[in-house]
């Protein structure tokens, strides 16, 4: 019996990866580009993505998307509380725009499997979400005895049992992908999903050994192997989120989602032998404003380093999480960053995460107090603030010390996940809310 295991931890809106094993090195071909963004309540429409002049100032890592039409759909923020959210968009199983087979899915860099609920699933969590009614769009995989191939996806807080198979997938822009590996969930037992409003998960990680043993591949390889895609598109996905929604694009970027067109992407390589988007953290610096004069033209800062050169700490990029998770050793720092009121944010320091870049360079990512603090309204409309960084109590499961950067971090940085070069790019994000 072939069983696939993904160890994932859900806390609030979190998916933390536990296993890191060698990734496939076959992800070398260029991919296709779509855009997913529609402000809530607006109509779907088509637009032309930026002219060549806009792109001429950016790195050749990005494909020139002139004359490419792209549909816009909602990447919606799903708030399961006043504090945190997950983000989902729509895909369709089948080659036609059949709403009957349209599913709300979470695009997750923290996993590699693609699954949606099956009509035969009668668990309460299946009954509370849309289920796929089997048709010609999906074909089951069978073992040598002619039996369905079971798929078991385990989480620390529960598990999903599914049937392995392939399907035609419509990415909502006339982009139809054949033979995409999609599991149909026959049982969902994850308490976290009780309050979520999306149906399934599309994993954006690399191929795992388990997938390889089943003859399966993640979404990006399925895109790569389809022949109907435009040539020369980058093998990458760009991810942009705000408080209300966002955008996910396959194959290129939209510079309009950067804070400034002059901002360049900074690139950090994925740690060797990791199947997920794991980066090397070299240092954390505390940036204090030592000039408290409000009208001072030249600010003065002092910097304090928290790590030594011998520390082995990683960063996991996880779009399936919302909060930022810190190693237990960062407890004193988190105590210092806590706020009891929003006014206290003005007295808090900025954090600079120094990642290992290419060829020995440093990638400096600054989070200001307003970036790592969650601001929300109370029941009477009053403003509240809460620290969005929490200690990770599952470090022993990881096998190494790590930070997990969830959606809260990605509100501050427009991120690009390049499958060909196995790098993550960062640029300050445009604030639209």
Q: Work out the average pLDDT over 303-325.
A: 86
pTM metric for this prediction: 0.81
pLDDT of residue 56: 32
Check if 179 is active-site: no
**Comparing 40 with 283, which gets the higher pLDDT?**
283
> CA 355 to CA 378: how far, in whole Å?
36
Q: Is the pLDDT of residue 139 over 90?
A: yes
pLDDT of residue 73: 43
Q: pLDDT over 70 for what percent of the chain?
A: 75
Contact call for residues 415 and 315 (beta carbons, < 8 A) = no
Per the residue annotation, which of 161, 164, 210, 318 is the catalytic one? 318
CATH code of the region 266-426:
2.40.70.10
Q: How many CA atoms lie within 13 A of 103 on its CB side?
A: 26
Per the residue annotation, which of 108, 161, 164, 210 is the catalytic one? 108
Q: Is the pLDDT of residue 228 over 80?
A: no
CATH code of the region 8-256:
2.40.70.10
Q: Is the pLDDT of residue 35 over 60?
A: no
What mean pLDDT value characterizes the chain? 79
Check if 318 is active-site: yes
All CATH 2.40.70.10 domain ranges in the chain, comma separated: 8-256, 266-426
Q: Where residue 400 falls among pLDDT bands split at 50, 70, 90? A: confident
**Comparing 1 with 209, which gets the higher pLDDT?**
209
Give the β-pairing of 313-317 and 401-405.
Answer: parallel
pLDDT of residue 64: 43
């Amino acid at each position: 019996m072939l069983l696939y295991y993904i160890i994932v931890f859900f806390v609030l809106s979190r998916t933390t990866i536990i296993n890191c094993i060698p990734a496939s090195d076959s992800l070398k071909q260029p991919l296709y580009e779509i855009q997913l963004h529609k402000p809530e309540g607006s109509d779907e429409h088509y637009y032309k993505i930026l002219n060549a002049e806009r792109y001429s100032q950016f790195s050749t890592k990005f494909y020139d998307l002139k004359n490419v039409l792209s549909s816009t759909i909602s990447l919606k923020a799903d708030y399961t509380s006043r504090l945190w959210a997950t983000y989902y968009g729509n895909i369709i199983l089948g080659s036609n725009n059949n709403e009957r087979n349209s599913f709300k899915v979470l695009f997750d860099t923290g996993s590699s499997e693609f699954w949606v609920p099956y009509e035969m699933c009668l668990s309460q969590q299946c009954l509370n979400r849309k289920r796929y009614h089997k048709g010609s769009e999906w074909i089951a995989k069978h073992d040598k005895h002619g039996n369905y191939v079971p798929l078991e996806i385990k989480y620390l807080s529960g598990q999903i049992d599914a049937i392995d198979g392939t399907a035609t997938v419509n990415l909502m822009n006339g982009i139809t992908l054949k033979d995409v590996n999609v599991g149909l969930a026959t049982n969902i037992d994850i308490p976290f999903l009780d309050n979520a409003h999306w149906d399934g998960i599309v994993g954006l990680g690399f191929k795992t050994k388990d997938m390889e043993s089943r003859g399966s591949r993640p979404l990006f390889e399925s895109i790569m192997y389809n022949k109907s895609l435009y040539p020369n598109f980058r093998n990458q996905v760009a991810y942009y989120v705000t408080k209300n929604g966002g955008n996910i694009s396959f194959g290129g970027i939209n510079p309009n989602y950067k804070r400034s067109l002059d901002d360049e992407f900074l690139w950090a390589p994925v740690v060797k032998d990791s199947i997920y988007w794991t980066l090397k953290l070299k240092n954390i610096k505390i940036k204090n404003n030592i000039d408290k004069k409000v009208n001072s033209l030249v600010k003065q800062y002092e910097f304090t380093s928290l790590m030594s050169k011998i520390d082995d700490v990683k960063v996991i990029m996880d779009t399936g999480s919302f909060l930022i998770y810190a190693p237990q050793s960062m407890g004193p720092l988190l105590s210092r960053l806590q706020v009891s009121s929003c006014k206290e944010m003005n007295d808090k320091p900025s954090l600079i995460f120094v990642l290992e870049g290419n060829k020995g360079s440093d990638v400096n990512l600054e989070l200001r107090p307003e970036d790592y603090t969650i601001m929300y309204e109370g029941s009477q409309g009053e403003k509240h603030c809460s620290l969005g960084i929490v200690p990770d109590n599952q470090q022993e499961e990881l096998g190494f010390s790590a930070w997990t950067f969830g959606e809260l971090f990605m509100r501050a940085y427009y991120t690009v996940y390049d499958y060909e070069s196995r790098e993550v790019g960062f640029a300050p994000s445009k604030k639209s809310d």
